[in-house]
Amino acid sequence: MSFEPAKPKVYLLTFAALLVLTVITVLAAKLTLPKIPMGILILDLNIVLAMAIACVKASLVVLYFMHFKDMGQVSKVWAVAGVFFLLVMFFMTLGDYENRPSEETVGWTESGPLHDARP
């Protein structure tokens, strides 16, 4: 994997993009986006947007500063695997919180879980 270092221009452009995106996140936080109630949890679109921007920024860092594409196969596969298992952990655990039985755990014979009052 002997890598050819990128031109300084690439780094500077990445840097500029990161700065711009930082400004965008700050501005985006000033908006008040809807909060969507989901059962006992709340999905807040503000945070969804902020995380989307953060993901773009993170990808820039990984792709250009960490010159991901020059990395060997092993590093690439493992980096993806790491993120994948992280998401597995997040979503399976959240699946619990979204569906916790409340006082009444109503069976499937009934018309669905009682405690969930989604319209």
Partner 1 sequence: MSTHEGDLHVGHQFEDAEQQLDSYSAGMWLFLVTEVLFFGGLFLAYIIYRTRYTEAFVAAHHELDWQLGGLNTVILITSSLTMALGVRAAVLNRMKAVLGWLGLTFLCAGGFMVVKYIEYSAKFEHNLFPGPNFEFHHAGIDPGQAQMFFNLYFAMTGLHGAHVLIGMITMIILVIRLWVMRKQRIDFIPIELTGLYWHFVDLVWIFLFPLFYLVGGN
Partner 2 sequence: MSAAGVATKQPEAVNYLNVDNSIKSWLLTEDHKRIGILYLVTISLMFLVGGIFAMLIRLELLTPAGDVVMSDTYNKMFTMHGVIMIFFFLIPSIPAVLGNFCLPIMIGARDVAFPRLNLASWYVFTLGATLGVTALVLGGVDTGWTFYTPYSSSFSHTPVIIAVSGAFVAGFASIFTGLNFIVTIHKMRAPGMTWFRLPLFVWAQYATSLIMILGTPVIAITLLLVAVERGLRIGVFDPALGGDPVLFQHLFWFYSHPAVYIMILPGMGVMSELIATFSRKRIFGYEFVAYSSLAIAVLSFVVWGHHMFVSGQSMYLSMVFSVLTTLVAIPSAVKIFNWAVTMHKGHVKLDSPMLYALSFIGLFTIGGLTGLFLSAMAVDIHLHDTYFVVAHFHYVMVGGAIVAFLGALHYWWPKMTGRMYPEPWAKLSALIVFIGFNLTFFPQFILGYLGMPRRYHSYPDEWQTLNVLSSAGASILASGFILVAVYLLWSLRYGAKAPANPWDATGLEWKTPSPPPPTNFTQRPIITEEAYNYPIVLSKNGEPGEAVKQEEAEKHEHA
Partner 3 sequence: MRLPFANIPIWPEGASKAAFEMDLLYLVIVGLTVFFCIIVFGLVIYFVAKYYAGSKADRSNPTFHNMPLELAWSLIPLALGLFVFGWAAKLFVEMQAPIHSENALNIYVVGKQWMWQMQHPTGQRENNELHIPVGRPVKLTLISQDVIHSFYVPAFRTKTDVVPGRYRTLWFEPTKVGKYHLFCAEFCGTKHAEMIGWVHVLSPEDYEKWMQDNRWGMGDEGVTVAQAGQALYEQLQCSSCHAPEQRIGPPLTGLYGSTRTLSDGRRVVADYDYLRQAILDPQAVTVSGHEPIMPPYRGQLTEQEVIQLIEFIKTLSAPQAPPVAEAEQSDDLGGNG
Residues engaged in binding partner 1 (CB under 8 A): 1-6, 8, 11-12, 14-15, 18-19, 22, 25-26, 28-33, 35, 40-47, 50-51, 53-54, 57-58, 61-62, 64-66, 71-72, 74-75, 78-79, 81-83, 85-86, 89-90, 93-94, 97
61 binds, among partner 2, partner 3, partner 1, none (CB under 5 to 8 A by kind): partner 1
Q: Where do runs of H (alpha helix) occur along 61-99?
A: 73-99
Q: Take residue 94 and report the two structure tokens written for it.
A: 């959240």
Residue 91 Cβ vs partner 1, minimum distance, rounded to whole Å: 10
115 binds, among partner 3, partner 2, partner 1, none (CB under 5 to 8 A by kind): partner 3
Work out whether 96 is an interface residue with partner 3 (CB under 8 A). Answer: no
Query: Side-chain half-sphere of 24: how many Cα atoms within 13 Å?
Result: 14
Max Cα-Cα span within the chain: 65
Residue 103 Cβ vs partner 1, minimum distance, rounded to whole Å: 18
Other residues' Cβ atoms within 10 Å of the Cβ of residue 5 = 9
Q: 37 forms bridges with which residues in the sheet?
A: 42
Could you tell me if 43 and 8 are in contact, meaning their C-beta atoms sit under 8 angstroms apart?
A: no
